[in-house]
Amino acid sequence: MKIGIMSFAHHHAEGYVQCLKNIPGVDLMGIADEDSARSAHYASVYETHQFRTYEELLEAKPDGVIITSENNKHRSLVEMAAGQKIHVLCEKPIATTLEDGKAMLDACQHAGIWLMTAFPMRFSPPVLEVKNKLDAGDFGTVFCFNSTNQGELPKKYRSWFVDKQLAGGGAIMDHTVHLADMMRWYLQSEAVEVYACANQIFYKDDVDADVETGGIISITFANGVFATIDCSWCRPSNWPTWGGLTFEMVTQHGAVLVDAFKQNLNIYRKDTPHPTWRFWGSDPNMGMISEFITAIRQDRIPSVTGLDGYRAVEIALAAYQSVKTGQPVKL
Amino acid sequence: MKVGIAGTGFMGSTHAAAWTEIGGEIAGFLAETPQEAEELAKWYAVKNYLDLASMLNEVDIVDVCTPTHLHCDMVLKAAAAGKQIICEKPLALTIEDGQKMIDACKKAGVNLFVAQVVRFFPEYALAKEAIDHGEIGQLGVIRLSRGSYRPKKAVGNWFLDETKSGGILMDLMVHDLDYARWVAGEVESVYAKKISKSFPDAPVDYATVILKHRSGAISHIAGAWAYPPPTFRTSIEISGDGGMIAFDSDATAPIRSLIQKSGSDAPDVGLPSSPVSESPYTTEIKEFYAAITHHSPVRVAAEDGLAAIQIALAAIESAQTGKAVILSPLTEVQL
């Protein structure tokens, strides 16, 4: 099983490569990047082949590619892979416009390849545990969610995260889709209405005027369930970790509180300025990458699809529209 | 000065304990029926007034701890009699009633204090102080939550009658709506959802409110009547451009009891439990009393109580209509 990586613009690519290396029978056949210095760097770090161009990588016929470019470049790379009939795992958000998202879905369907969206939270053991209990009927009817996916300013990883053109937006685009997707998956129901507020108070000197750093979104689903998502880049730079994902799910029998990244050691070192949390829970990326590989091996549709990615982007884009109008937006 | 306490439920008895602690003189209690006030009147060895008029004849301060829908009438009568007044939150169920109460007290030249007790809880007061000192810079997102079980009462459960209590958005969440306005300033728009609207037959209630402040800050306020008794939990997470302040009652509870219990009785209304040397209710009554006797400043004005119910009413309207509600400035209200 040969897998290639298209672009290291997104730092998640590093985590995905670690996962690939831990799956038996998977060969990281190489990487390509429009930034040749970057691909040279990572090719040497991961001891793999550096392709000069994306075309060259695709012509080497990998079984699948992982696309981790800037958000607005996903479409062209997915279309290239589809042109060579190569299965794709695409970083979230899968697109920055619905037009791009639709084109990607169409291209992959036309080519008969699988397009999977990188939604690792579906593979987080605590999130899965609650999903399994929910499906078993342990919680009864779900009524609402109160959730957060907060973080630091991601600029320290890559500067394009705060470039509206390349990222498609700020905190809303970055941090709405994980929970929006998780709720769609939990509820098996689609969002019908979205309300959102956004501002630019956190890290305002570090971002362009059109990039929001704070935001709260409210989603209403077809089955009546409502949910809020706090997508803010509000964590101070001395927060013990990168951020986190939490949700409270209120049901007929009470509530379940989930903190997906709570399985940490607290580390207090004299030589660091603040305490840190070191995660010992299971890496959700591993389950996600395994699913992509297994789906290709078994020639079946992955459990998370391109359409799931598209639906989550629909919600994020509706949030932007609501911020503009000040009123909820119907999907 | 003599105090008459109207209302002998959970809040009436809590205020009575606070008055006693600060050495106040309770003249007596008034309830809807004399039977309801009997226990407290006996315990404190004071009068069990049969009607408001006879209480007003004998007291200087009226402490209104009745169900919310009775506040307006009682405050108007007490003001007309020239009494100093403390009124439980929420001040009233409508802006008109609240305004009438404020106007009547002004006209009568008496104080009207609204018992927004959260402002007196040490963790909330300390967070406000840190914010005012600029410790976390300009506020961006304020997250507040307050959760318990549905208030229970063997008879006459007025909490669950929205015409009497205003429901979860008014009765429970007015605390945090007031606090959000206290720390982040005036509110521009309100959007809210609640289980009791989306799922009218649900055995639990929970609401989320999103406030847009004029300052640009956003508040997210969650209220739960959804947890198993005797749960009561609150949390604060306030982020600014210079840092954040966080509090979680689950994480800061200084005592965790793993003792086996025979019964599982929970009080009618969930209560915070984090022992401090002075109950926040006592701090509150003490501050109001000092303002009456020495004209010292108080941290909450009746107008704040009115502004808080304006936000709660907008949340109720939003949950009903599904639209964000734009607030018009209350001319009387200033921070």
Q: What is the SS3 assignment for chain A?
A: CEEEEECCCCCHHHHHHHHHHCCCCCEEEEEECCCHHHHHHHHHHCCCCECCCHHHHHHCCCCEEEECCCHHHHHHHHHHHHHCCCEEEECCCCCCCHHHHHHHHHHHHHHCCCEEECCHHHHCHHHHHHHHHHHCCCCCCEEEEEEEEEECCHHHCCHHHHCHHHHCCCHHHHHCHHHHHHHHHHHCCCEEEEEEEEECCCCHHHCCCCCCCEEEEEEEECCCCEEEEECCCCCCCCCCCCEEEEEEEEECCEEEEEECCCCEEEECCCCCCCCEEEECCCCHHHHHHHHHHHHHHHCCCCCCCHHHHHHHHHHHHHHHHHHHHCCCEEC
Q: For chain A, report the end-to-end CA distance as a whole number of angstroms.
A: 40
Whether chain A has a CB inside 8 Å of the CB on B130: the answer is no
Whole-number pLDDT of residue B263:
64
Whole-number pLDDT of residue B334:
43
Are B152 and B268 within one domain? yes
Continuous segment of H or E residues that includes residue B29: strand B25-30
Nearest chain A Cα to B201, which residue? A252
Q: Which two tokens stand for residue B53?
A: 């008029």
Let me know if residue B262 belongs to a domain: yes
- Give the whole-angstrom CA distance, residue B313 versus residue B325: 10
Whole-number pLDDT of residue B152:
84
Angle between helical axes of B174-184 and B302-321 (0-180°, round to 10): 110
- Give the whole-angstrom CA distance, residue A12 versus residue A268: 27
Q: Which two tokens stand for residue A45?
A: 């770090």
Q: How many CB pairs under 8 A join A and B?
A: 116
- For residue B320, the chain A residues in CB contact (below 8 A) are none
* Residue B58 and residue B32 in contact, taking contact as beta carbons nearer than 8 Å: no
Let me know if residue B294 belongs to a domain: no
Segments in chain B below pLDDT 70: 262-264, 272, 331-335
User: Within chain B, what is the greatest distance between any pair of CA atoms?
Assistant: 56
**Residues whose CB is less than 8 angstroms from the CB of residue A266 and which lie 6 or more positions away in sequence, other chains included:** A240, A275, A276, A277
Interface contact flag, A216 B241, Cβ < 8 Å: no
CATH topology identical between A2-113 and A121-282+306-330: no
Are B165 and B205 within one domain? yes
Interface contact flag, A254 B326, Cβ < 8 Å: no
User: Within chain A, what is the greatest distance between any pair of CA atoms?
Assistant: 58
Per-residue CA distances from B58 to B23, B51, B55, B61 (Å): 18, 12, 5, 9
Nearest chain B Cα to A144, which residue? B195
Pairing mode, strands B112-115 and B218-225: unpaired
Give the mutation candidate from A231, A234, A274, A327 for the B interface (greatest B CB count, under 10 A): A234
Nearest chain B Cα to A322, which residue? B324
Q: What are phi and psi of B91, to 5 degrees?
A: -50, -50
Q: Which two tokens stand for residue B277?
A: 């040397």
Are B250 and B172 within one domain? yes
Q: Which two tokens stand for residue A73?
A: 């470049």
CA distance A14 to chain B (A): 29
Domain edge (last residue) among B64, B93, B115: B115
At position B124, the amino acid (one-letter code) is Y
C-alpha torsion B312→B314→B316→B320, nearest 10 = -170
* Residue B222 and residue B207 in contact, taking contact as beta carbons nearer than 8 Å: yes
Interface contact flag, B141 A213, Cβ < 8 Å: no
Interface contact flag, B218 A197, Cβ < 8 Å: yes
Domain edge (last residue) among B115, B139, B159: B115
- Give the whole-angstrom CA distance, residue B306 versus residue B91: 7
In the block, residue with structure tokens 């169409």: A106
Task: Say yes or no: domain A2-113 is CATH 3.40.640.10.
Answer: no
Let me know if residue B333 belongs to a domain: no
Interface contact flag, A201 B140, Cβ < 8 Å: yes
What is the number of alpha carbons within 13 Å of residue A265 lying toward its C-beta?
Answer: 5
Whether chain A has a CB inside 8 Å of the CB on B185: the answer is no
Are B168 and B316 within one domain? yes
Are B102 and B165 within one domain? no
- Give the whole-angstrom CA distance, residue A152 versus residue A238: 9
- Give the whole-angstrom CA distance, residue A75 versus residue A90: 10
Are B185 and B310 within one domain? yes
Q: Which two tokens stand for residue A312?
A: 């989550």
Whether chain B has a CB inside 8 Å of the CB on A187: the answer is no
Whether chain A has a CB inside 8 Å of the CB on B326: the answer is yes
Please tell me the CATH code under which domain A121-282+306-330 is placed.
Answer: 3.30.360.10
Whether chain A has a CB inside 8 Å of the CB on B193: the answer is yes
CA distance B233 to chain A (A): 13
In the block, residue with structure tokens 């609207």: B197
Summarised one tens digit per residue, pLDDT across range B112-158 is 999 999 999 999 999 999 999 999 999 999 999 999 999 887 778 88
CA distance A224 to chain B (A): 6
Interface contact flag, A144 B224, Cβ < 8 Å: no
Are B111 and B132 within one domain? no
Are B105 and B168 within one domain? no
Domain edge (last residue) among B115, B137, B161: B115
At position B133, the amino acid (one-letter code) is H
Are B73 and B215 within one domain? no
User: Domain ranges in chain A?
Assistant: 2-113, 121-282+306-330
Find residues 274-313 of chain B whose CB sits inside 8 Å of chain A.
Answer: none
Considering only CB atoms, B208 lies closest to which of A144, A197, A203, namely: A144
Considering only CB atoms, B227 lies closest to which of A216, A225, A255, namely: A255
In the block, residue with structure tokens 């502004």: B307
Are B128 and B111 within one domain? no
- Give the whole-angstrom CA distance, residue A262 versus residue A245: 9
CATH number at residue B100: 3.40.50.720
**Residues whose CB is less than 8 angstroms from the CB of residue A262 and which lie 6 or more positions away in sequence, other chains included:** A126, A244, A281
One pLDDT digit (tens) per residue for chain A, 331 residues: 999 999 999 999 999 999 999 999 999 999 999 999 999 999 999 999 999 999 999 999 999 999 999 999 999 999 999 999 999 999 999 999 999 999 999 999 999 999 999 999 999 999 999 999 999 999 999 999 999 999 999 998 899 999 999 999 999 999 999 999 999 999 999 999 999 999 999 999 999 989 999 999 999 999 999 999 999 999 999 999 999 999 999 999 999 999 999 999 999 999 988 999 999 999 999 999 999 999 999 999 999 999 999 999 999 999 999 999 999 999 9
In the block, residue with structure tokens 């907060």: A150
Whole-number pLDDT of residue B272:
67
Q: Which two tokens stand for residue B129?
A: 């102080």
- Give the whole-angstrom CA distance, residue A167 versus residue A171: 10
Count of positions (residues) in chain A: 331
* Residue B111 and residue B105 in contact, taking contact as beta carbons nearer than 8 Å: yes
Considering only CB atoms, A216 lies closest to which of B210, B228, B324, namely: B210
Are B84 and B129 within one domain? no
Whether chain A has a CB inside 8 Å of the CB on B203: the answer is yes
Q: Which two tokens stand for residue A296?
A: 């290709």
What is the number of alpha carbons within 13 Å of residue A62 lying toward its C-beta?
Answer: 31
Q: Where are the alpha helices (DSSP H) in chain B?
A: 10-21, 34-44, 52-58, 71-80, 95-108, 122-132, 162-165, 167-171, 174-184, 195-198, 249-252, 280-294, 302-321
Whole-number pLDDT of residue B333:
47
Let me know if residue B292 belongs to a domain: no
Tally of domains in chain B: 2
Let me know if residue B283 belongs to a domain: no
CA distance B146 to chain A (A): 12
Cα angle A55-A57-A58, degrees, rounded to a multiple of 5: 65
Whether chain A has a CB inside 8 Å of the CB on B265: the answer is no
CA distance A144 to chain B (A): 7
Whether chain B has a CB inside 8 Å of the CB on A195: the answer is yes
Give the mutation candidate from B233, B239, B321, B326 for the A interface (greatest A CB count, under 10 A): B239
Range of the domain at B79: 2-115
Q: Which two tokens stand for residue A306?
A: 């391109």
CATH number at residue B235: 3.30.360.10
Whether chain A has a CB inside 8 Å of the CB on B266: the answer is no
Interface confidence (ipTM) of the complex: 0.96
Are B175 and B99 within one domain? no
Interface contact flag, B140 A225, Cβ < 8 Å: no
Give the mutation candidate from A207, A226, A237, A238 for the B interface (greatest B CB count, under 10 A): A226
Whole-number pLDDT of residue A96:
98
